[in-house]
Amino acid sequence: MKRIAILTSGGDAPGMNAAVRAVTRKAIHEGMEVYGINYGYAGLVAGDIRKLDVPDVGDIIQRGGTCLYSARYPEFATEEGQLKGIEQLKKFGIEGLVVIGGDGSYHGALALTKRGFPAVGVPGTIDNDIPATDFTIGFDTAINTVLDAIDRIRDTATSHVRTFIIEVMGRDAGDIALWAGVAGGADDIIIPEHEFDMKQVANKIRQGRDRGKKHCLIILAEGVMSGHDFADQLAEHGDFHARVSVLGHIVRGGSPTARDRVLASKFGGYAVDLLKEGKGGLCVGILNNELVASDIVETLETKKHHPDLSLYDLNHQISF
């Protein structure tokens, strides 16, 4: 391939810019032309496409968000939307596409693959919920952002002898809550992938108070319920002086960590290698610290992400 394009889609994630930079500069290094597509699949269909050169991706590796912007575009799920997108790619002479994003973005790449257009998916989402990879771009930054909040909230929780429910992003996946909860010494972690008993949560808080513990921190994935609903249900089992902190979109922003910058650079470079070899219909990932390329159709249609529930069990054993 001599001409490829990049788009970012879905929710932004710290490290997306590092991936855009890596794809662009690796492709130029390999003698290829690179085009950036603004606003994801919406921009693809609209033809909002521009050539990228080395200076265009300078000074972005440290920036959060995405310099190519992002937009929701459910119309790309239709045949009409997909054919319009392919028409635009052909109009610009683009032979392959790198799609950086999460599950919805991957389904767009899958649709292009099924229509014979080479696309490579790069996992970029703070939720870490993409199959065929241990980690996604943005996850490490997100859990460190949550961890910083946990450490700060612990100070005021201790000062006022309160229970704090910290609601974090993760609609269908509990990885952010799980990893940040273990790292932050949470008393309880509530995630969609594991059942919980509110009575047991309440008893654990009482036991801690009986030992003289001055605070209680509960990390709640938003996909289970809202923090305020959780607090209301907890109040049915006693007065625990509970307060709720909803971290929300703050978890998505900020400068990416070194780990996310390196991971994004590896993924971006590897995606270019695959397209240079004429390969498409793949998604890149990292398994056991090794870069891998998986069939995107098989990955999305037969595989599912599962969090490391051994962390859940470990936290239960050490959080008393």
Task: Summarize the annotated binding site as residue ranges.
Answer: 11, 21-25, 72-73, 102-105, 125-127, 154, 162, 169-171, 185-187, 211, 213-215, 222, 243, 249-252
Cite the annotated binding site for ADP by residue number. Answer: 21-25, 154, 185-187, 211, 213-215
256 in Cβ contact with 64 (< 8 Å) = yes
295 in Cβ contact with 302 (< 8 Å) = no
Structure tokens at 259: 């780990």
User: d(Cα 120, Cα 132) in Å, to the nearest integer?
Assistant: 13
Give, in order, the Cα–Cα distances in Å from 114 to each of 33, 79, 147, 182, 287. 24, 11, 41, 41, 25
Residue recorded with tokens 């085009």? 35
- Given the residues 12, 48, 127, 140, the one annotated as active site: 127
Residue recorded with tokens 């309880």? 188
Is residue 308 part of the annotated active site? The answer reads no
User: d(Cα 130, Cα 149) in Å, to the nearest integer?
Assistant: 25
Kindly state the greatest CA–CA separation across the chain. 70
b/e map of 218-228 (b: 16 or more CB within 10 Å)? bbbbbbbbebe
Cite the annotated binding site for substrate by residue number. Answer: 125-127, 162, 169-171, 222, 243, 249-252
- DSSP notation for 97-158: EEEEESHHHHHHHHHHHHTT--EEEEEB-TT---TT-S--BTHHHHHHHHHHHHHHHHHHHH
Task: Kindly list the catalytic residues.
Answer: 127
